Amino acid sequence: MQRVISIVLVFIMLVLGAVVSVSAEDLDISDELMNAIRELKNDETLSKDDFNLMYSYEISKDKYLVRYSRRESASPCVVCEIVMGEYKMTIGQPPIPMILYNGKLYETKVAYDEGIIDYDDLEIMSTFEKVSVEKIGWSYETDFVKTYVGSLAEYSYEEVYHYYGGNYLGSSPDWVLAKGSVSDKEDCDTRYLKYDDFVLVCNESTAPFTMGYGAFFTPWDGYGGGHCFYDLVSDFDLIAEKMDGFTDILKEQDEAVELGNCDGDDDLSVLDATQIQLVVANLDTAVKLTDERGVEFYFEDADSDGEISILDATAVQLKLAKL
């Protein structure tokens, strides 16, 4: 009888130990996260008792990668791979990880697309326990070398952006923006390439790409064979037509100068509006420039209407005011 009692006591202790162990691993949902969930779900009646917090990791200041689930809710196990630039996040089952930032929740891919998290954040996320993030490492440097370098010993090559059209993995990126150089041109004149509201400026003597940048894309129907790089100048219209979001990415590069930035520095400021007013008042002179496609423009033409007027100074001020 005593042996039976002892066995029962041991069993009870093991059960209690297991309960204590589970409780010790339970994660608390913070008030900030709970309020963010209520806002996301548009349901003020939700409470912490309705959810389990699977993990919460701080990526950087005020940015958290969180994954939570609704208690007593069953979801089918579906493997999902979310691609963000050169990184992918593999999820074995729902729900997907979210980014908690400034009291709001964002889907991870949305947070990446909106610039809330960047490559540095993704690199940190790849080190987190229970989070499957890895660098894909797509690169077309071999194609670049084969096409342009040949027997030349020295070249430079960098892929500055990879574009994926969907939140899935299964092929190479839709397109890649690359910077490459294999030789110097004799002339080093400044070259320009005008887009709608900004100008790409090249002060280097780089080849084979006119502006130092090349666009890489699996060949389009009726245009080239094998993987190809496209020049921003000679293939200007083709790139604009085929590559979604290309102009937006190019505008973020260091060589891109926003129209209205006419005082020679790197920032659009009230000094640019003042400079435009001086030109309008005939107290200074604007220089008409011609880009590589033969398009004439002024940096003072902030509204890109072909003329310099007080409206351009107003356009700069509106941009500064985020209006």
263-309: pLDDT as tens digits? 878 788 899 999 999 999 998 999 999 999 999 999 999 998 989 99
Mark whether 290 and 267 lie in a shared domain: yes
Q: Total domain count for the chain?
A: 3
Does position 16 have pLDDT exceeding 80, yes or no?
no
12 falls within a domain = no
Same domain as 131, residue 28: yes
Same domain, 164 and 118: no
Please tell me whether residues 246 and 264 are part of one structural domain. Answer: no
96 within some domain: yes
Q: Do 281 and 180 fall into the same domain? A: no
Range of the domain at 182: 141-251
222 and 146 in a common domain: yes
Domain-located, residue 15: no
Choosing from 83, 100, 135, the residue where a domain stops is 135
Whether 71 is in a domain gets the answer: yes
Per the domain annotation, does 17 fall within a domain? no
Residues sharing a CB contact under 8 Å with residue 130, sequence separation 6 or more, in sequence order: 54, 55
Residues 84 and 170 in one domain: no
3 belongs to a structural domain: no
Q: Is 264 found in the same domain as 234?
A: no
Most confident of 125-139, 144-158, 241-255, 281-295: 281-295
Judge whether 268 lies within some domain. yes
Q: How confident is the model at residue 137 (pLDDT cuts 50, 70, 90)?
A: low
**Domain end position, chosen among 110, 135, 160:** 135
Q: Same structural domain for residues 247 and 264? A: no
Same domain, 151 and 238: yes
For 165-220, the pLDDT digits (tens) are 654 444 567 788 999 888 755 557 899 999 999 999 998 877 889 999 999 876 55
